[in-house]
Each structure stands twice: as C-alpha cells, then as structure tokens.
Amino acid sequence: MPLSEETRKQERKRIASMVLDLVKARGTEISYSVAQSESGLSRSRFEWVFGDYDDLFDAVAAIWLAPHMKVMEEVLDTDLPPNRKMYEFFRRRFVISRDRFREDPENFRMLCEMGAANFERVRSYVDLADHYLCEIIVQAQADGYFAGLEIDEALSLINQMVSPYTLPDSLIYIAPKLSEEKLARIIDTIFIGLSGETGTQARGLNTIRVAS
C-alpha cells in the first residue's frame, strides 16, 4: 500500500532529523544507503520517500536551515528602522550559527563541509536570503540611504562587507574575532558611508581609484 502524502512528509522529517543525529554521532557524512538501512524502512519505501541522495540532502538542509529562515522572516515583519532591521537580519542568523559552533565545533565543521560539497543544493536558500536583504535595501533607499546605487550593486557590496557573519566557515577560522558589537559597527558604517555619489553632499566618498 502506498504511503499517503502526509505520511511521506512525516517520514522525510523523521529521517532527515535522524541523519543529522547520525552525522553528529559518527562524525561523518551519511550516505543514501546508510540512511536507508538506519531508517527502518524497506528499500522500496525509502526510495518512495527520497528519490535519491540529493532529495535526502534537501530534506536535511531544510531542517538545519529552518531556524535561519524563521528569524529572517520575523525580522522582515518588524517595523524596525532599516539600519536596525539590517543589523537584526544578520545578527540573529549569526547567533544561531555561533551557538551551534560553540556547542559542537567538530559537528559544525562536518556540516559545513557537507554544505560546501552540496552547495548547489543550498543555493536556493542563499538566493532567498538575498531576496529578503533586497527588501531591506529598498526600505533603506526610501529613507535616503545608499544614494546612487542600484539595488543589485548595494546587495553585492553589503554581502561582501558582512560575509564573515554569514559564511558559517568563518566561525571555524576566526570565531574569536567575530562579535555582535563588531557587526553593529559594520552596519553603522554601511549606512553612514555606502553611496554611489561623490561630492560634498554625498554620504560617502569613493576616493580610492583602482588601477586598470
């Protein structure tokens, strides 16, 4: 008898959570075949729940990244001014990753390696975060910030400036140098100085000329 769609959803969540637990317990990535053998399902049932490893990884990533998605959406729903909203947009995700790293650095490292090896499978989450950040940029521009910059240009510049707080791998290498206080100063600097304009009335001046 085929599983109902609701049962299939429940099994996907159960098995994906199990895989995360196995990664933590064994300190290694869990293959499709191992997940199947540990799931308690027959091979045919398991294949109905997960068509292949990519499908399994998608379910695991969805659970791991769910807290990040939740806090981003919560921040977007607030009435905070754009500078505070952008700070919270990055801070809350950073705190989640930092706490996970502190709790179990080796497991965090392993999950980072899994994410890097399957980056195309998590690209949609990166794209969604960029979409949400663009909404904050639009709000900021409506309040007079980031003058003279196209949204995509502002997005790229901001992402590069805050990348240590959004790339999980950064915690592995420079965790002691990262803090909420430093992030706040970075966001303040972005709002004070990021502009496409030049001249005495500009919020920021681009005085460095890149050699061609």
What DSSP letter does each residue of 7-45 carry, written as one string? HHHHHHHHHHHHHHHHHHHHSSPPPHHHHHHHHTS-HHH
Given this model, what pLDDT does residue 196 score?
78
Given this model, what pLDDT does residue 2 score?
61
What averages of pLDDT result for each successive group of 10 residues across the chain (212 residues)?
Answer: 81 97 95 96 94 96 97 97 97 98 97 93 95 98 94 96 96 97 96 74 48 55
Given this model, what pLDDT does residue 208 score?
46
Report the chain's mean pLDDT, rounded to a whole number.
Answer: 92
Phi and psi, residue 87, nearest 5° = -60, -50
Helix segments in the chain, DSSP class H: 5-26, 32-39, 43-49, 53-76, 82-103, 105-117, 119-142, 151-166, 169-174, 180-193
Q: What's the rounded Cα separation, in Å, for the pair 60 and 77?
A: 26
Q: What is the pTM of this model?
A: 0.88
